[in-house]
Amino acid sequence: MQDPLDHSLSPTASTVTEGRTFGSLVAAHVAIARFDHWVKNVFVLPGIVLGLTVESFPGWPETLARSLVGLLAAGLVASSNYVLNEVLDAPYDKGHPTKRFRPVPSGKVLIPLAYVQWILLMLAGVGLGARLSLTLAGMLVALWVMGIVYNVRPIRSKELPYIDVMSEAVNNPLRLLIGWYVLPHLAPPPISLLASYWMVGCYFMAIKRYAEYREIGNRAVSSAYRSSFSYYNEPRLLVSIMFYAAAAMLMFGAFIVRYRLEWILSAPLVSLVMALYLQLAFQENSAAQNPESLYKQPKLIAVAGLCAVVMVIFLFVDVPWLRDFFAPLEFSLQPMGLP
């Protein structure tokens, strides 16, 4: 199999397609930045909202301005990672039924220019973050480094079963931290919250893998596209989805009990969102493979929106009777056989 760092056999490295116009070249380089994927930065927003509950409120104008800068910075760093992903995945995308038509494998991109684009997008994003705080800039650098871990040899974690899902999903807590540190002078968020956010990301990513595996169908073809598919099969992927869901809810419960018991009222809606997302994996041309198109799933969007509203309400509204209802009983658990 061709080394993805070796572009000598790629038409994008050896030739320039005749008839390529400046406009088509610009369009191709804009496309590989995947600006439409910026919708994934919605995972930054909970960090901002949660941050407002533990620090003195800086005022709406400043909060809004800092939030917009943080979201833009996260988007630019994410686009830098997408450019690298497009370039290094091109040799594998040629074996995929639809991804072979992407700009890089179809020869529409200049590879040296793409690497310049990769660096410039990162510098722009980290530079914007540094204007707010060095801690925020550090979180953005960590997000960029994870793009290298995921895509670049000798690690290239996307080729390793289970590690591919877990390393990609690390971007979830990193996005939460980016939102958290958009506001000034914040202590770190609870570990239980970060762990839950990570496992939720693993859950979504494992469902994406499952949907991809089902769509490609042919094991030889899927393995050529993504080497981890030579190990994966449907039962293994489904078992991993169950593990990530259980771990996510366990950590979410730990966070709720320790920090915000009112959020237990949102648990049924959280569970429903996760169930509806899993249902997508069994559909033809599943939207789970392309999360940026999830807006076309009205039921999921409606339930997720309602869940978000409920969580925001009960983040700021106390329900005192919940403390009494879930108060510990008057006994302690002891190991069997001991007094």
Helix (H, G, I), strand (E, B) or coil at 188: coil
Peptide bond into 154 cis (omega under 30): yes
> According to the model, what pLDDT value does residue 257 have?
93
What's the pTM? 0.86
CA 309, CA 315: separation in Å to the nearest integer? 10
pLDDT average, residue stretch 306-317: 95
52-92 pLDDT, tens digit per residue, is 888 766 788 889 999 999 999 999 999 999 999 999 988 87
**pLDDT tens figures, 93-147:** 776 667 777 888 888 899 999 999 999 999 999 999 999 999 999 999 999 999 9
pLDDT at residue 226 tops 90: no
Which of 221, 222, 205, 225 lies closest to 213, judged by CA?
A: 222
Q: State percent of the chain over pLDDT 90.
A: 63
Q: Is the pLDDT of residue 194 over 90?
A: yes
pLDDT bin (cut points 50, 70, 90) of residue 220 is low
Widest distance between CA atoms in the chain: 85
Please report the pLDDT score of residue 333 as a whole number.
66
Tell me if residue 158 falls in helix, strand or coil.
Answer: helix
